[in-house]
A and B are shown apart, each in its own frame.
Chain A
Amino acid sequence: MRFIISLALKNLSRYKRRTIITAVAIAVGLMMYIVVDSILLGAEFESMRNLRWYETASARIMHPDYWEDRLMRPLDISIEDPYTIVDSLRKEGIAAAPRTMFSADLILYSEDFGEDGHMPVQVTAVDPELDNSVFRFEDTLIEGRFVESGTNELVIGSWFAEDIGAKVGYWVTLVTRGNGGFYEAMDMQIVGIVNCPNPNVNRTLLMVPIDTIGDYLAMEGAATEINITLPESAKIAEEVARIQQLLDPNGNNLLVVSWDDLARDYVALAEAKRGGTGMILFLVFIIAAVGISNTMLMAIYERIRELGMMRALGMNDRSIQLAFMVEAGGIGLIGSTIGVLLGIAINFYMVNVGIDFGLLMRDMDMGYRIQSSFRGTWNPSTIITAFFFGSILSMLVAWIPTRRALKMDIPSCLRHQ
């Protein structure tokens, strides 16, 4: 065994160029694997976090019929007394806030916007006192202030503001149908602009006080939904079931829906992307494997006579096989070590700085709920897997050509040029 290891190490150091080229191929493959995995995992993690922080919360309570017709935003299917539920949830240590969602026509005036115009929008009516205990918009204000209760104030997403040329202090009118079908027009002043890390929200957000909207739309204290935030470590399914149990005895006939059901489209997209990612990573490995395989094939091919001599002198096939596999494993080990170190170094940058895709994300919806910087994340299992996979794969790909060479008869090996 000592001889086999010594022979392998000597071959590694003697054929320096071959060792370096193959090790570099492995290193690049593994580094790419670590970094790509980190970016994609980081993007997914951040997307899901931004979904919960700005779009869906951890879970949502609503009327079962509203859940069915949610795309229509029906105001008549609502939660009648949302604050009683919010209070009872708060007593259980669960932060909750009511919201009312409705569709409207946004009317812009030439005095402020340079020309008259209108467009369909989705409006979110929030309780200014409670909403920031569930969502995190307060931290995203870049101009002005948040809406106050009982006022005709409006907060807008920065990209939306940019698109329509809105500024703090401008007036707009929201025209919609109230609870019962009557038409209502509400004059609102923009008091704040938020730059939300979730691009979907930043493109469309219009936020108004829920009590003002309740009066205009005859909601009589009702809200269309109650949003709930749960700790990051909470098991969502279990918590949702627990909240559902808290609601049921009161005869509320309400449904609790977890964030991943609310963002079913995104979750499905993320799963599809994960499949695509797996394919990319598989291809990276195939490239590395072909590189190693080719190098080992050449290494074995040029040493067939040496192999024949060893066999003639009585070295058994298993020992010869082991010698070549140790050599290939050595290359794999060098490549894996370099690849993992490089991967960690680049990932350190990716985790702390990331890559700014802001310009791309501004006008393109890639499905990710990330506005600008894609940051990586640390995934120790990927790093460990990459290290062992690189080393073991190298040994495995050496096994096949060695086996083939050992099937040749000894005189043919000795005659080999």
Chain B
Amino acid sequence: MIQVQNVIRNYKTGETVVKALKGVSLDIGDGEFLSIAGPSGSGKTTLLNLIGCIDALDGGEITIEGQPVSGMDKKAKTEFRRNNLGFIFQTYNLIPVLSAFENVSFVLSILNIPEKEIEERTMRILKEVGLEGMENRRPDRLSGGQQQRIAIARALVKNPKIVLADEPTANLDSKTGEEILKLMKEMNRKYHTTFIFSTHDSMVMDYAKRLVLLHDGQIVSDERR
């Protein structure tokens, strides 16, 4: 489903060129629950961003569902992300002026889905992530765990093929982090959505069905469990 072939990504900081990814290759199948792990600076977020079509690679190719996304222009990438990808961010990145319901429903609004369907799907997903009754609350009235649940609901409400999560539990305490991971795993099982998440937390790695270890921009191990 996702083919990462010999991907290279370099960053320039002044005169110095930092080689973030040095020819990474990886195949990810449908419905996988995959963790990309590694220390800080190993390239896991970069890899996630490239799969998520929000960064441009310097070499190699990424194909998702048979489509070579790395060659797409900006407009096509935006459309691809809108239709196929869900994102969960470390800092939740919710819109502070919107309620939980609105934060989730806006991704359906930009897909031009009818209002009635938007409401039904949003309420259903909020119930599934355990936020029933809190749909009118704004993010500042919710705990970190609850905010991340909104982010998960937002990522899943459009039934994407792939959900990308960059250190989804890094801002949460271990108990809440575990709850979030359980929720993600449940959603993976229920909707057969591919989850790819980056982490350097061993507890999070334990939840993964497949663990890809990165070090200095290269894959050092790829373990299925």
Mark A residues whose CB is within 8 Å of B: 2-3, 6-7, 10-11, 13-14, 305-306, 308-309, 311-317, 319, 409-411, 414
Contact = CB atoms under 8 A, between A and B. Distances in A.
A308 B93 CA distance: 9
Contacts of A309: 87, 89, 93, 95
Nearest to A316: B78
B109 A3 contact: yes
Contacts of B55: 409-411
B49 interface: yes
Contacts, number: 65
B218 interface: no
B52 interface: yes
Contact of B79 (A13, A314, A414): A314
Nearest to B111: A314
Interface of chain A, helix or strand or loop or mixed? helix
B81 to A, nearest CB: 4
A313 B95 contact: no
A315 B110 contact: yes
A2 B49 contact: no
Contacts of B107: 313-314
B55 to A, nearest CB: 5
Contacts of B87: 309, 312-313
B49 A411 contact: yes
B220 interface: no
A2 B93 contact: no
Contact of B81 (A10, A11, A14, A314): A314
B81 A306 contact: no
29 contacts: A2-B109, A3-B106, A3-B110, A7-B95, A7-B98, A13-B97, A14-B96, A14-B97, A306-B95, A308-B93, A309-B87, A309-B93, A311-B78, A312-B52, A312-B54, A313-B81, A313-B82, A313-B154, A314-B78, A314-B79, A314-B81, A314-B83, A314-B107, A315-B82, A315-B110, A410-B49, A410-B55, A411-B49, A414-B93
Contacts of A6: 102
A35 B201 CA distance: 65
B116 interface: no
A115 B52 CA distance: 101
Contacts of B75: 316
Interface string B106-119: 11011000000000
B98 A314 contact: no
Contacts of B78: 311, 314-317
B112 to A, nearest CB: 10
Contacts of B95: 7, 306, 309
A7 B94 CA distance: 13
A315 B81 CA distance: 9
B97 A10 contact: yes
Contacts of B56: 409
A312 B154 CA distance: 12
Interface string B133-175: 0000000000000000000001000000000000000000000
A315 B83 CA distance: 11
Interface string B83-107: 1010101010101111000100011
A6 to B, nearest CB: 8
Nearest to B80: A314
B110 A410 contact: no
User: Considering the complex of A and B, which 3 residue pairs feature the smallest CB-CB distances, nearest first?
Assistant: A314-B82, A410-B54, A309-B93
Given A314-B85, A317-B78, 8 more contacts: A7-B98, A11-B97, A306-B95, A313-B154, A319-B110, A410-B49, A410-B54, A410-B55
A308 to B, nearest CB: 8
B145 to A, nearest CB: 19
Nearest to B87: A312
A311 B89 CA distance: 13
A344 B77 CA distance: 51
A299 B79 CA distance: 27
- Which of B87, B107, B109: most chain A CB closer than 10 A? B109
Contacts of A305: 91, 93
A315 B78 CA distance: 7
A312 B98 contact: no
Contacts of A306: 93, 95-96
